[in-house]
Amino acid sequence: MTNHHVYEELISITAEENVMVNEPLRDHTYTRLGGAADLLVTPETYEQVRQIVKLANKKIFRLHY
């Protein structure tokens, strides 16, 4: 599965502005360190978190919390 397909599935779960592609992690850490995340998702509800974790388990990609 390509990132584009995963991206499409993620924006069906949460708002498009909550799914970032090639997002520099330095913009999201206190120490300003980190490379680019293929996909960074910031869900707004518990239900969105549940659905994203379910998608990750189904598609077998790594989650980093």
Model pLDDT, residue 2? 66
How distant is the alpha carbon of residue 44 from its chain centre? 12
Distance CA 41, CA 58 (A): 17
The CB density around residue 3, as the number of other CB atoms within 10 Å, is: 13
Q: What is the mean pLDDT of the chain?
A: 89
**Residue range 36-45: mean pLDDT, rounded:** 94
The CB density around residue 30, as the number of other CB atoms within 10 Å, is: 5
Q: What DSSP state is assigned to residue 22?
A: E
Model pLDDT, residue 60? 66
C-alpha to C-alpha distances, 65 to 41, 53, 62, nearest whole angstrom = 11, 11, 10
Q: Is pLDDT of 49 > 90?
A: yes
Q: Is pLDDT of 51 > 90?
A: yes
Express as a percent the part of the chain with pLDDT over 90: 65
